[in-house]
Structure formats: C-alpha cells, structure tokens
Structure 1
Amino acid sequence: IGVDGRHVLNGNWAVSPPGTYEAAGTRVVYTRAAGPEETLRAAGPTSQDLLLQVLLQEPNPGIEFEFWLPRERYGPFQAQAQALGWSLRQPQPREVEPQPAEAPAAPAAVSPRTPPPAPDPCSPCPDTRGRAHRLLHYCGGDFVFRARVLSRLQQAQETRYEVRVQLIYKNRSPLRALEYVWALGRCPCPRLDLHREYLLAVQRLISPDGTQDRLLLPHTGYARAWSPAEDSRVRLAARHCPA
C-alpha cells in the first residue's frame, strides 16, 4: 500500500499477476511460484513509505526481509542497532563476474583423436562421516543451514561459493537469502558441487579491522548432501549440544 492508501498489488481481495509495478519512486518486481513463497524485490531508492500487509488463511510460513542503506547512513544505523542489542552482519558487495571476451568464429576443424580429460588436480578429501563429526561442527558452528550452490569462484588461496539459503537450523545472527561461503585453498575439503543442495555448518569470521565479515566453511568441516535422513540427523544433533 502506498502513502495514498492505494493498493499497489493484491488489494481488495484480488490477486495480482507476477510482474513489475511502479511504487514509491521505484519499480517493484513481484514473483509468485506454485508453492507458498512470494517475493518482492526493488532496486530502490524509495521516495515514499510502503506498507506491507499479510493476509493468512493458513499457518504463518514466516516473512524474511532485507534492505540496503546509503553508505553515509549505514554507520549511524549500525550504532543504533548495536545499542538496541540487534545482531547485524555487514553486507558484502555482489559484483558481476567478468566474462571472457568472445573469440572470433573460426572454421570448425575435425580432430583425429579426442584428447583424454585432464586429471583432477585436487586430491580426494578424507572421509569425515560419523555422528561425532556432525555433533562437533553443529555445536561449534555459528550457522547451520541448508543451501543450494549457485556458483563457485577459485581465487589465489581460497574458494568462494555463492549459495541460496533455503532452511536455517542454527544462526547467531540473521542470514540473507543469498550468501557467500568461503573455504580455504583452491582444493577445499569438503568440495561443493554446483547446483546441489547441502547441509552446511559454518563459522563467522570478522577481520580485525572490521572490514570483512565472512562465512567460513572449515577444512574437513561439515558439508553433507541434503537428504531427509541427514535432515533428521542434524535435528537430533541439536538436542545434544551443551547449553
């Protein structure tokens, strides 16, 4: 609802179709899938207040939200949030990965022999399965969540995964829908495959000067392919952590 009291979408008991809507001086993108999840996104900045109303005819599935402040306003807001006891994580910029320039098209050449695939330069990871390992990392981790791996970027001495958080089992501060998870080395253990879902136990790592705030997957840490059985094991591990 805008400041004029008019519904921007889904008003007066009518369901609006997914699409882009003009509101509060910006464009709001509304998406809705077959399931219960609905999403509103706006690049901003907004010039007016927006009121979000939720009508439920079933148990409340929960609402997640995130927002960005101009750089000059983030410091005062952070100080106020800390005074109120809120736990905030500093946002990490999401850059566009550089794309290699397209080479000019060349005539197709038929190779007489297909070269063998290059060997994997990474050594196999040690076997870390077991209840004790799961319990150690669940209780000692700052965050435990289910996530889908969207991308992987290998840098000099570390690997960065972009993941979509789908279900949170444990968190010491709020998590965003999209997060970066870092692992040490170009051949981290455990290694995460693209487009697969995992249960992850990670630690929060803040640099001494406070400029970096990362989620770190420890070496030989807990990262298991998600399954209903592993979900049950994680929930059971939560009951055995010391208070």
Structure 2
Amino acid sequence: MGTLGPGEAEWPGCGRPGRPRPIQNLLLLLGTLLSCSLGGGAQGPGEWTLWGSWSRCSSSCGRGVSVRSRRCIRLPGEDPCWGDTHGYRLCRLPDCPPGAVPFRDLQCALYNGRPVLGAPQTYQWVPFLGAPNQCDLNCLAEGHGFYRSFGRVLDGTPCGPAAQDLCVAGRCLSAGCDGLLGSGALEDRCGRCGGADDSCLWVQRVFRDAGAFAGYWNVTLIPAGARHIRVAHRSRNRLALVGADGRYVLNGDRADAPGTYEAAGTRVVYTRAAGPEETLSAAGPTTQDLLLQVLLREPNPGIEFEFWLPQERYGPFQARAQALGWSLRQPQPREVEPPSPEPPGPAWTPTPAPDPCPPCLDTRGRAHRLLHYCGSDFVFQARVLGRRRHAQETRYEVRVQLVYKSRGPLRGREYVWAPGRCPCPPLAARREYLLAVRRLVSADGAQDRLLLPRDGYARPWSPAEDSRARLAARHCPA
C-alpha cells in the first residue's frame, strides 16, 4: 500500500475487509461497490470533499487572510486529486489605529532577548527587507551588521511595507476580483469578475463635425455606468468636460493643467503632450452623466472617443444622443462577430484595400525567433478581429487562442499596439498569427498595453510554427 498525502483518505478495496471512515461520502461507497461487482478497476483521480468553513481573519485590524480546507478521498490505484487542499481569501477589518506596530515587526520582536544563535548573547530584532524572499521572516539585529531568517512569516503578513499582496504559505499572492488569493481572477471591461466582455457594449466613434465658429461644441454624452473611457485628438483645440450639475470639470473658463481630476465618481486622467496630442481617460464606472465638449480654435481633424456601457443602458443613451443630433454607429457585443464581411465604421481599415505602405524587412530565421521569443513578455496564438489607426500607432483587436508564454494574465480579447501607421510586420484581419509581444506600462499607470515591436515576431500560425515556438521555449535562459 502506498503512502497517502496529507488530507487524503483511502477506501477498502474489492474483497478486502475494512470499513470506511465516517467522513467518507456515501455516494463514493456505492460507486466502489458497483465497481467491485462489475470487476472494474479504479481509474482517474480521487474526489474532493466539500470545502470546510472559512476560518477567522488572521489579523485583528486592517487586511488579513482567512483559510478553508478540504480532503481528497481516493480509491486504491487512483491518482491524487487535482487542485489544492487549502484555499485563501482576503479579509478586511477596520483600519488599524495610528501608531499600531506592523505585523512583521511583531513577529521579529518575539525573538527579542532570546538566545537564538547558540550563544548566551541576546539581541533586539527588527525586520530586514533586503533579503531575496519577501515571505521569509528576516530580522536584523539592531546595532549589528547581520540578519537572521526565522523561517516563514505568518500567513497574512504584507509582502512589503506598502504592498497590497500578502504572504500565504511562503508565497507572495495577490487577491483576484473574487477575493481569493492567487486565483488570478480579473474583471472584464464590463466590470464582471471573470467575465468575457459579453454583458456590455463598446461605443466607439470619431467626431468629425467642424464648427462654423470658434467656441465650445458638444462631442458626446458619456452616460452614467460608462467604463474604460478614452478620448484622443491631435490639434490645438482643447477637450472640455462638463458635470451633471452643468459645471466644468475641465477646461472651462481657463486652461487646466494636465493631471488627475475627480468627476462622476471616477478619476479622469488628462494629458497634453508637448505636441498637439491631447487625451482623456478614466476607468469608471461613472456615477453620473458627463458631457464631452471641444473648444475649437482651428478646424477639427477628428476626435476619437470610446467607452463601454452596460447593454441595458445603451438604448436610453442612444435615444438621448440622437435627440441631440449625434448619430452613433450601432456597437457590437464583444463576443459576437460583426455579421458583415468587413468590420463596420469608417475608422476600420478593410483588408482588401490597397496599402501604400513600403515592404517590411525579412524577419524570418531561427535567430530572430529566439531573440523575440526569449525577450518578450507574452507569446500566444491569436486571431485578428480588426485593425484601427490611432495617430501614429496601429491598434489590432485580437482573440487569444493559445498561450505559449505569459508573464501576467491575458484576457480572451486583447488590444495589441504596433508603432507607426504602416506597422511591420502587418497583420491581416480574420487571420491567425503567432505573436511575441511586450508589456508596456506608462509612468502614471494610466496605460497598460501589449506592444508588437517594429520588425518584431508575428508569423502566420501553422502546426510547423507551433513546433518552432515550443522548441524556442527550451532554449530561452531561465
């Protein structure tokens, strides 16, 4: 008989005397008897018991960890259960009072005045944060030039002084949107945890109206509930934002400086580069309507705006927009392909149209593949859904099919950005590619992009390309 792992139980086999323990499930016992009567052998993994209840929070104030456990029940010859015996979730309590001793400091202080190095001399210990593993209890002897590791920190200890991640079983884990540590669950663009962007609609348009006189012109209404708002243009004109109370949030009676502004329950990041480019972005959701305007100083070259809106709010928004004389393109649900053979809207570039771009360099070869595969943050197979040009950049919307390499979470649908209006290598709509891309985060954290470098790696996907990618993974340094 093999040795069982912790948290596992074993059933008596066919023809073997014995009696199951009380915790074992009656349904599993019936399945065992049926298997014995048919002469079949046990196959596959075992089965988990139900999760136990959550424990009390590990902390008395602030953030901590709550844990629950389950057991694996398996028959003789079955494989261990797939998954974890313990689950952890973030628990939040009222903030700790000012001056409270941090949790890591308390754990180091437990060794104050105690001989720990086999000598009668004792020390006063404080946390040492320069060691490699953040979840080890590394403590520095005050007044001395050495530190000592006392094993792991207790579960629920912050990974660093200002870190949001917590240590659990010696690992630094972050909480997903479901509150579970290490789950990796993310909100989709509709605000649903683990969703697939299918409960909201993407509203996108280019405002091209040119006013006959200088002054403020309405661009669009941004209704309550909007998420992932983005506005951009390149001109000497100025974007302006009006709140539900009729007061200007941005660029009203004066020119406001770039920065972050509070409006409608969200933070609006306003940027204005040294050149003519100007942008607005906000994560949302907005709690009130906002009116986007433009202060015209010169002819309007086009103002691009987009946001995501719950499906139930799109009808009222469209009715109000049409009443104001703003015709908007009917958006498509994110998980539904456009019915027409070409993506709708003037901002999309049809595939059959002639492209005046010059030819790209030949980037084939093993050396080029290894360079980009090993130096990239993400390598995945993707289907291109559409292409759109933004000023001096090109944005591809892709559906992720298969992930080969990932240094972070990937959604089912992503935007991949490429520099220039004539990116190299170019990607064609409705075709599948193997892409090696990098992650690019702006200094203020407002933009988090997937970047396909110029002359980067983007090859049409094929079984042969799949084999080359898997072979390249073996040659990348760890």
Q: TM-score, normalised by structure 1?
A: 0.56
1:97 is matched with 204
* Residue equivalent to 1:164: 399
Residues of 2 paired with 1:218 and 1:90: CA distance? 27
Per the alignment, do residues 138 and 182 of structure 1 end up closer, same or farther by CA in structure 2, a change over 3 Å counting? same
AA matched with 1:220: D
Matching residue of 1:140 = 375
Larger radius of gyration: 2
Letter in 2 for 1:167: L
Counterpart code for 1:96: V
Summarize the Cα distance change of 1:209–1:118 in structure 2 as closer, same or farther, 3 Å threshold: closer
Whole-Å Cα distance in 2 between the matches of residues 215 and 97 of structure 1? 20
What residue ranges of structure 2 are gaps of 5+ in the alignment? 1-161, 167-171, 175-183, 191-200, 208-326, 329-351
Indicate the SS of the match to 1:219.
coil
Is 2:421 the partner of 1:186? yes
Aligned-partner SS, 1:146:
strand
The CA deviation at 1:91 is 6.6
Q: Quick check: 1:85 aligned with 2:173? A: yes
| Partner secondary structure for residue 165 of structure 2 | helix
| TM-score (normalised: structure 2) | 0.29
Alpha-carbon distance in structure 2 between the residues aligned to 1:95 and 1:210: 22
Shift of 1:98: 2.5
Q: Work out whether 1:121 is the aligned partner of 2:356.
A: yes
Alignment CA distance shift 1:229-1:182 (3 Å): same
Unaligned runs of 5+ in 1: 1-78, 103-116
Match among 458, 461, 466 for residue 226 of structure 1: 461
AA aligned opposite 1:222: Y
In 2, the alpha carbon distance for the partners of 1:82 and 1:90 equals 18
Identity %: 68
- Displacement of 1:95: 3.7
Please give the alpha-carbon distance, in whole angstroms, between the structure 2 residues aligned to 1:134 and 1:220. 11
Q: Count residues in correspondence.
A: 153
Supply the distance in 2 between the matched residues of 1:206 and 1:190 (Cα, whole angstroms): 22
Provide closer, same or farther for how the CA distance between residues 165 and 119 of structure 1 changes in structure 2, counting only shifts above 3 A.
closer
1:146, 1:202 → 2: CA distance?
A: 11
Query: 1:25 maps to which residue?
Result: none
Contact 1:89 1:173 in 2 (8 A): no
AA aligned to 2:452 is: L
| Alignment partner of 1:212 out of 444, 447, 450 | 447
Q: Distance in 2 between matches of 1:184 and 1:92?
A: 24
Q: 1:234 to 1:118 in 2, by over 3 A?
A: closer
Query: What's the CA shift string for 1:144-184, capped at 9, x where partnerless?
Result: 00000001111111000110001000000010000000000
Aligned-partner Cα distance in 2 for 1:166–1:177:
8
Higher relative contact order, chain-length normalized (CA < 8 Å, sep 6+): 1
Deviation per residue, 1:43-97 (Å, 9 max, x gap): xxxxxxxxxxxxxxxxxxxxxxxxxxxxxxxxxxxx9863443379897788423
Q: Which has the higher strand share?
A: 2
